[in-house]
Structure 1
Amino acid sequence: MTDLMAKWQGTERRKQKDSWVQLFQWLSLIGWSFFTLALVMSFYAAPEKDFGLTRYRGVETRDYWTSPLTDYLYYLLWLTAIFSFVSIVVSHFRTRRATDNKYYNLSLLLVICVTWVIYIAINAYW
């Protein structure tokens, strides 16, 4: 990265961040916030673990996905995937220099959300 800066001889003409880049950063923050909320929601929606101690003590465990929470989780994950996809598209068109950030975390967030949606669809609905 510093090697690229050493080769570039021009002057920096950007005075502040572009409004599109700021929008991109807000979308990224909202997407990660939704993902964190989805993690918490999945804790309550997913089936409970059935350990030997719980069977021995006679504690009932839920072996199915909670339907209303699973639906909300499903929609929340799709919303997170949409936010990350829009952020990736905005980033692609608005960051043109080699020194600009690549934001690989959004690609990771998109892949995680889509695979999680597929996992929930396979295990909860079918």
Structure 2
Amino acid sequence: MTEQNASLPKKNRRHGPDWLLQSINWLSIAGWVVFVIAMGISHLAKPEVQFGFLQYLNIQVRDYWDPTLTARLIYLLWWCCGISLLSLLLNRFRLRRAGDHLRYNLVVLLLMSSAVLLYLAIIL
């Protein structure tokens, strides 16, 4: 009788996404929204390009990173790293069955936000 019970597949008791899976999904969405906002701020904070027409008219452009926007950018990028790390840790506890998978979008978010932070650390 024990041989027969040992060969039977275990019953899957999951009936859909639970609160942990939903929180991982929402954290992933929140992390990407924060990253898109950070990229918008980086566009506003970066030095302006001095085109030939502007140089011809002697119009001065900003050739440095805006300090207030750069501080906000760095703050948001740290939040992106934190959100993605927290989501990856929660997902790590969730990886128990064959149907569970690693969320590569969180890994990409972590790599991209840390790469931009490294770039800003080198530039500034």
TM-score tier after normalising by the smaller chain length:
0.7 to 0.9
Deviation for aligned residue 1:96: 1.9
Displacement, 1:102?
A: 1.8
- Do residues 120 (structure 1) and 120 (structure 2) align? yes
CA–CA distance in 1 between the matches of 2:100 and 2:94? 10
Aligned position for 2:93:
93
Residue 101 of structure 1, CA deviation: 3.0
Contact 2:94 2:100 in 1 (8 A): no
Kindly indicate whether the alpha-carbon contact (under 8 Å) linking 2:77 and 2:113 is maintained by their aligned counterparts in 1. Answer: yes
Q: Do structure 1's residue 73 and structure 2's residue 95 form an aligned pair?
A: no
1:58 is aligned to 2:58: yes
- How many equivalent residue pairs? 116
SS of match in other structure, 1:111: helix
Structure whose alpha-carbon radius of gyration is higher: 2
Identity of aligned residues (%): 39
Task: Report the alpha carbon displacement of residue 11 of structure 1 after superposing the two structures with TM.
Answer: 4.8
Question: Is 1:41 aligned with 2:41?
Answer: yes
Q: What per-residue deviation string (whole Å, max 9, x for no partner) do you get for residues 63-100 of structure 1? A: 10000110010010001110001101111111322222
Matches of 1:57 and 1:18, distance apart in 2:
62
User: Structure 1 10/57 Cα, relative in aligned 2: closer, same or farther at 3 Å?
Assistant: farther
Instruction: State the 1:12 CA deviation.
Output: 3.6
Please report the RMSD computed on the Cα atoms of aligned residues, expressed in angstroms.
1.5
In structure 1, the gaps of 5 or more residues are 1-8
Gaps of 5+ in 2: 1-8
For residue 117 of structure 1, report the CA deviation from its aligned partner.
Answer: 0.7
In structure 1, distance between residues paired with 2:40 and 2:122:
20
- Residue in structure 1 matched with residue 18 of structure 2 by the alignment: 18
What does residue 102 of structure 1 align with?
Answer: 102
